[in-house]
Amino acid sequence: MNNKMWGGRFASGPDAIMEKIGASIDFDWHLYRQDIAASKAHAEMLAKAGIIAADDAEKIAHGLDTILSEIGSGTFEFKRSLEDIHMNVESRLAELIGAAAGRLHTARSRNDQVATDFRLWMRERIDDIWGLLGDYQRALAEKALAHANTVMPGFTHLQSAQPVTFGHHLLAYVEMAARDRGRFADAQTRLNESPLGAAALAGTSFPIDRDMTAEALEFARPMANSLDAVSDRDFVMETLAAASITAIHLSRFAEEIIIWTSPLVGLVKLSDKFTTGSSIMPQKRNPDAAELVKGKTGRVIGALNAIFVVMKGLPLAYGRDMQEDKEGTIDALSTIAMCIDAMTGMVRDMEPDTARMRKAAGAGYSTATDLADWLVLTLKIPFREAHHVTGQIVAKAAETDVPLHRLPLAEMQKIEQRITNDVFEVLSVDRSVKSRVSYGGTAPKNVRAQARKWLKKLDKERE
């Protein structure tokens, strides 16, 4: 059978494999709400501009509403032979209202239609993700406030470096999520222009009002160049780049959770809700959710790579290649939403083993920098020299396998005779974190202030 939407000049219908490779309905049905909203706006504008009759526009609007509820309730029959969401909707419209349906496609093309639908769809997904990231930040900030005093080892090279607070560590992810939200918001602002009315590529001779449809669909303005309007997918790349960076941030945290919950480390415990057992080893508590968040990063970055490759080397304007913009994107954005949600749940339920954290925080001579700083401050020794002296003291302590605060003063004085008993005050992990009061530092009072600042900000957003 010929395609009734464009089959006029064709003697035969498509080969089965042509139909299969050409169909996008299996994934672009996701755009049905946007497709119907854009068609309603278009029909209303056509009537207002005197391009179609008012009663035809009314029939079209009613028919589209019926289709919306049919799809919503699952009674709509999607047909692969109709390729995509646009033609599935229009074909059903013809069944419902007859000839008037044929007037809807005046002064538009599927090229501006799909670009419009996809931008509208993306705009909504960004709203969802933005909200989920806010919930994630709240969970982190609440936990950070509860653990502003909880000392843990801070690492560089995954080697004990200096003690930090658990709250401070969690707040690092709040900051990352804030920038992620900023990237999504920027992408959303830039994509919020209407391609509708660009038609196939050159615009149209009909006296359409692109401002009117842009406004009806809450776009900031119509896109200024019809070729650009139908042919760029930079908004897809930009949003997927934001999603990929977010995924990478989540993935780093997920890996930390995996390390922290390993029995070899044991700094954090995940709740039963976010662990799974093994079918053979009864003792196991596996951090599967964290592992999957990490693993799913591949899908998100994969979708970004795919759209890069699809778009490179595509001449203006529309090319069918671009139909490949949707499947991976739809998957990637629902994946990132799920990952954010899973991380929020894990953060809410995770509990640090504070005793183990404290012990680990002091291990590995983690307060050596505090000793060096004390030498600089109290004895006015230049930092480089103090570093060297401290290194010798650490080596001495290591010889007898004692922590710095257990090394006898006399031993320290053998290396630097001016050291006094006061030095022991800075060698504890609590003193160490408490002293890190520089802006952005790990001191509990900084952490409390920052956590409260974030919680207040997030509360305001909800108002």
Q: DSSP character for 164? A: E
> Which residue, 111 or 150, is less far from ligand ARG as judged by CB?
111
Question: Which listed residue (12, 73, 157, 279) is catalytic?
Answer: 157
User: What secondary structure letter does DSSP report for 417?
Assistant: T
150 φ/ψ angles, rounded to the nearest 5 degrees? -75, 115
Total residues contacting ligand ARG by CB under 6 A comes to 10
CB of 58 to ligand ARG, least distance (A): 27
**Residue (115 or 268) nearer to ligand ARG, CB:** 115
Nearest distance, CB of residue 327 and ligand ARG, angstroms = 10
Rg (the chain; Cα; Å): 31
Q: Is position 261 an interface residue for ligand ARG (rule: CB under 6 A)? A: no
Applying CB under 6 A, does 84 fall inside the site for ligand ARG? yes
* Residue in 14, 24, 239, 350 binding ligand ARG, rule: CB under 6 A: 24
Choice between 111 and 344, CB closer to ligand ARG = 111
Please report, as residue ranges, which positions from 25 to 64 form the binding site for ligand ARG (by CB under 6 A).
Answer: 28
Tokens of 328: 């991976």
Q: Is 297 in the site for ligand ARG (CB under 6 A)?
A: no
The torsion region of residue 199 among left (phi > 0), alpha (psi -120 to 50) and beta comes to left
For ligand ARG, the closer CB: 116 or 344:
116
Distance between CA atoms of residues 373 and 376, nearest Å: 5
Stretch in the footprint of ligand ARG (CB under 6 A) among 136-144, 241-249, 314-322, 366-374 = 314-322
| Peptide bond just before 11 cis, omega within 30 deg | no
Q: Which amino acid is at 415?
A: I
Pull the structure tokens for residue 136.
């994630």
- According to the binding rule CB under 6 A, does residue 323 interact with ligand ARG? yes
CB of 110 to ligand ARG, least distance (A): 4
Output 24 or 275, the one with its CB closest to ligand ARG.
24
Q: Which two tokens stand for residue 313?
A: 């080397």
Closer residue to ligand ARG in complex, CB, 28/370: 28
Residues near 113 by Cβ (< 8 Å), separated by ≥ 6?
35, 38, 39, 86, 196
> Among 60, 55, 65, which Cα is nearest to 108's?
60
Closest CA to 162 of 448, 391, 451, 428: 428
How near is the Cβ of 23 to ligand ARG at its closest, in Å? 9
380 lies in the binding site for ligand ARG (CB under 6 A):
no
Q: Closest approach of Cβ 84 to ligand ARG, in Å?
A: 4
State the catalytic residue, choosing from 69, 262, 271, 278: 278
Degrees, nearest 5: CA angle 262-266-290: 45
- Environment class of residue 441 by beta-carbon count within 10 Å: exposed (0-12), middle (13-18) or buried (19+)? middle
Q: How many CA atoms lie within 13 A of 130 on its CB side?
A: 17
Q: Which is nearer to ligand ARG, 193 or 325 (CB)?
A: 325
- For the bound state, the minimum distance from the C-beta of residue 5 to ligand ARG, rounded and expressed in Å, comes to 10
Q: Which stretch binds ligand ARG (CB under 6 A): 11-19, 51-59, 297-305, 318-326?
A: 318-326
User: For residues 111 and 194, which CB has a smaller minimum distance to ligand ARG in the complex?
Assistant: 111
Helices and strands counted in the chain (H then E): 18, 6
What are the residues facing 165 on neighbouring strands?
151
Measured between alpha carbons, how far is 54 from 152 in angstroms, rounded to an integer? 70
Q: How far is the CB of 108 from ligand ARG (least distance, A)?
A: 11
432 is known as an active-site residue: no
Is 157 annotated as catalytic?
A: yes
Mask for 87-116, x = binds ligand ARG (CB under 6 A): -----------------------xx--x--
CB 4 within 8 A of CB 91: yes
Give Cα 458 distance to the centre of its chain: 17
Q: With H, G, I as helix, E, B as strand and everything else as coil, classify residue 159.
A: strand
Binding piece for ligand ARG, criterion CB under 6 A, among 43-51, 132-140, 319-327, 397-405:
319-327
| Of the residues 9, 157, 320, 380, which one makes contact with ligand ARG according to CB under 6 A | 320
What is the DSSP-derived secondary structure letter of residue 265? T
Nearest distance in Å: CB 314, ligand ARG: 12
CB of 7 to ligand ARG, least distance (A): 13
Do residues 125 and 187 make contact, with C-beta atoms less than 8 angstroms apart?
no
From 39-47, 316-324, 363-371, 390-398, give the range in contact with ligand ARG by CB under 6 A: 316-324
Beta strand extents in 215-346 (DSSP E only): 221-222, 268-269
Out of 145, 223, 293, 322, the residue judged to bind ligand ARG by CB under 6 A: 322
Question: Where in the sequence numbering do the catalytic residues fall?
Answer: 157, 278
Interface ranges with ligand ARG (CB under 6 A): 24, 28, 84, 110-111, 114, 318, 320, 322-323
